[in-house]
Amino acid sequence: DPDKKTEVVLLACGSFNPITNVHLRLFELAKDYLHETGKYKVIKGIISPVGDAYKKKGLISASHRVTMAKLATKSSDWVEVDDWESSQSEWLETLKVLRYHHQKLQSPDATNSLQSVTPLTKPGRKRKQEPNRHEPVKKKSQSPDVKSVPQVKLLCGSDMLESFGIPNLWKLEDITEIVENHGLVCIIRAGNNVQKFIYESDILWRHKNNIHLVEDWVTNDISSTKIRRALRRGQSIRYLVPDVVQAYIEKNNLYSPESEDRNAGVVLAPLQKHTSDSKN
């Protein structure tokens, strides 16, 4: 039925170190864009801060990052923070987080164990209801204008998309499954290279219909790195991050030259993992 809209959940993974107005804007832009196509209905936004085990330089404790994100999303009626990823003891591939949230949508009472996060069959639009012993019968009644299965799409900026090209950072099969089974909503700035990047990748090109590029009409360059730099230099970050986040950072004196040195010289978890995997 072409009039039925697909329900979408937007999932943003990242350090959020700290969360900024730009992070929050990604959701608003993505939602507006998807709604304007007439084909989607965005029902939820999820911010999933990465775990400390990611070992990125300057990454402060997940509990602070999660708290700040929660403070920042208090005023939103559809974007929330999920700390499942950050509470795992080991770093998790983004695909696993996507699968987890997708599964959670299917069966809200599924256990939160890693074992249940198995690859799903491709959710085609006209899929017959296959008997699947991992999924309970869907009990929820659906509104007439909505298609059966909500999709979880990865929301990101062009930097994440382009990071697909960094050697050993992503597994090829992960990228494939992300764009094939889930989809990407990527917020870009005018005059960027993302389209060229997609063109030059066979996998991305094949699934380009599932990669939504959304142009930001504001020239915004509020990166967390710049925020942390400003804080180290005693400069104001007001109006770049929500007031509550600025107050929290100030009260807890979160960012300093010392905090920026955390994990200095440590190999990033995905790089560590892929190098040791290939060694085995």
Partner 1 sequence: MKIRIPVILLACGSFNPITNMHMRLFELARDHLHRTGRYEVIEGIMSPVNDDYGKKGLVSARHRIAMAKLALETSDWIRVDPWESEQKTWTETVKVLRHHYKESLRSLQSKKELIENKQPIERSAEDSISYQHSVLPELKLLCGADFLQTFKTPNLWKEEHIKEIVEKFGLVCISRVGSDPAQYISESDLLTTFQHNIFLVKEWIQNEISATQIRHALCRGLSVKYLVPDSVISYIAHHNIYTEESEQKNEGDLLRPLKLQNTTVNPLND
Which spans of this chain sit near partner 1 (rule: CB under 8 A)?
Answer: 21-22, 24-25, 28-29, 31-32, 75-76, 217-223, 226-227, 230, 234-236, 238-240, 242-243
Beta carbon nearer to partner 1, 131 or 234 = 234
Residue 10, both tokens? 């937007």
- Using CA atoms, how far apart are residues 85 and 155, in angstroms rounded to an integer? 16
Closest approach of Cβ 32 to partner 1, in Å?
A: 5
Closest approach of Cβ 14 to partner 1, in Å?
A: 16
Closest approach of Cβ 59 to partner 1, in Å?
A: 20
Are 156 and 98 contacting, i.e. CB atoms less than 8 angstroms apart? no
Closest approach of Cβ 86 to partner 1, in Å?
A: 22
DSSP string, 141-205: ---TTB-SS-EEEEEEEHHHHHGGGSTTTS-HHHHHHIIIII-EEEEEETT-SHHHHHHT-HHHH
Closest approach of Cβ 216 to partner 1, in Å?
A: 10
Beta carbon nearer to partner 1, 32 or 173 = 32
- Using CA atoms, how far apart are residues 248 and 68, in angstroms rounded to an integer? 7
DSSP helix/strand/coil, 272: helix
Beta carbon nearer to partner 1, 176 or 220 = 220
Antiparallel, parallel or unpaired: β 40-49 and 6-14:
parallel
DSSP helix/strand/coil, 80: strand
Are 155 and 26 contacting, i.e. CB atoms less than 8 angstroms apart? yes
Closest approach of Cβ 174 to partner 1, in Å?
A: 30
Beta carbon nearer to partner 1, 69 or 175 = 69
